[in-house]
Copies of this chain bind each other. A is one copy, B any other.
């Protein structure tokens, strides 16, 4: 009887296959990102505090804006305030795109484990969007286009605005539309993940979703929308004025006597 009990007991033990399956069942997440099962390779926790990272990011922005202010005022002392602010905006964008976003594109495969200042800043930001650490194809591609095209174009546009170049408005429109478009897609793809795939890339605390994800990126919706509007309508005004000048010149030519020719209309 004991013999049968032992056989029955042994058949209750997990088979090797069942044991393997049990061993790959979800473990508690080894990172603070959402979704909790996001594939984030080689994650190392930050050594700097949130306050330290946010204040260093803010200080960096203030430094870039201040240097641009002083350099622009020196190059063109009577620059209109709106052009000065636009120049400062595009220099800030150029620095963000080329250096800060360039860093995450260059290190896309390994940023989750990086402890430099930019690495820790990205790990802090990724609390609101884990796609930066989980090698998301869309985020990599849109960031690559931003770094390669809109980084240099932002600096070129800043130079054009500061010097009043004739191509300033078309270039301002191009970079601003690029910002608007990429940011719209960035929000939309995240919303798709949230509503259709039931996968939120942001931690649930409001400071991450509303502060970092919505708040920080909203600058790249609001400012480009204003700059694009100004570009389009300044172009429109200039084309209207030019058409008026042409009509006036044609009319004044028409009233001049044309010797022996047919009457001009």
B-binding residues in A (CB < 8 A): 7, 11, 15, 17-18, 21, 135, 137-138, 140-142, 144-145, 166-171, 173-174, 177-178, 181-182, 184-185, 188-189, 192-193, 196-197, 228, 231-232, 235-243, 245
Chain B residue nearest to A175 in the complex (CB): B177
Chain B residue nearest to A171 in the complex (CB): B232
The residue that A239 contacts in the complex, of B167, B182, B197, B243, with Cβ under 8 A, is B167
**B142 touching A185, Cβ below 8 Å:** yes
Min Cβ gap A133→B in Å is: 15
CA distance A142 to B142 in the complex (A): 12
Min Cβ gap A21→B in Å is: 7
**A184 touching B242, Cβ below 8 Å:** no
The complex is assembled from copies of this chain, and their number is: 2
Contact partners of A192 in chain B: CB under 8 A: 137, 140-141
The residue that A173 contacts in the complex, of B15, B174, B184, B238, with Cβ under 8 A, is B174
**A145 touching B184, Cβ below 8 Å:** yes
Min Cβ gap A191→B in Å is: 8
The residue that A11 contacts in the complex, of B11, B145, B196, B237, with Cβ under 8 A, is B11
The residue that A231 contacts in the complex, of B21, B145, B170, B241, with Cβ under 8 A, is B170
CA distance A257 to B147 in the complex (A): 55
Contact partners of A145 in chain B: CB under 8 A: 181, 184-185, 188
Min Cβ gap A236→B in Å is: 4
Min Cβ gap A226→B in Å is: 15
Contact partners of A15 in chain B: CB under 8 A: 15, 17-18
| 9 additional A-B residue pairs with CB within 8 Å, beyond A145-B181, A177-B181, A185-B185 | A15-B17, A15-B18, A138-B138, A141-B185, A166-B243, A167-B235, A167-B239, A173-B174, A238-B242
- Determine which residue in A135, A140, A235 has the highest number of CB atoms from chain B within 10 A of its CB, and name it: A235
**A166 touching B17, Cβ below 8 Å:** no
The residue that A137 contacts in the complex, of B141, B197, B241, with Cβ under 8 A, is B197
Min Cβ gap A44→B in Å is: 22
